[in-house]
Amino acid sequence: MKDLYNHLKPIQIVPPMLLLDAASPAAVEKSIAGFNSVVITIDHAAKPVGDTGTITLKLEHADDTTFDVAGSYSEVAAADILGATPSSGVIFTLATAAQPAAIKNIGYVGGKKWLKFTLAENDSNATGTQISVSMQKGHPGDIPPL
pTM for this predicted structure: 0.90
Please tell me the predicted confidence (pLDDT) of residue 51. Answer: 80
Q: Which domain holds residue 45?
A: 5-140
CATH of the domain at 111: 2.60.120
In a domain? residue 10: yes
For the chain, the domain total comes to 1
Q: Provide the residue-wise pLDDT of the chain in tens; the chain has 146 residues.
A: 988 888 899 999 999 999 887 778 999 999 998 899 999 999 999 988 878 888 999 999 999 877 778 889 999 999 999 999 999 999 999 987 788 999 999 999 999 999 999 999 887 777 889 999 999 999 888 665 54
Question: How would DSSP label each residue in 58-119?
Answer: EEEEE-B-TTS-B---EE--GGGEESS--BTTEEEEE-SSSBPPEEEEEEE----SEEEEEE
Q: Are the C-beta atoms of residues 120 and 59 closer than 8 Å to each other?
A: no
Please tell me the predicted confidence (pLDDT) of residue 10. Answer: 96
In a domain? residue 146: no
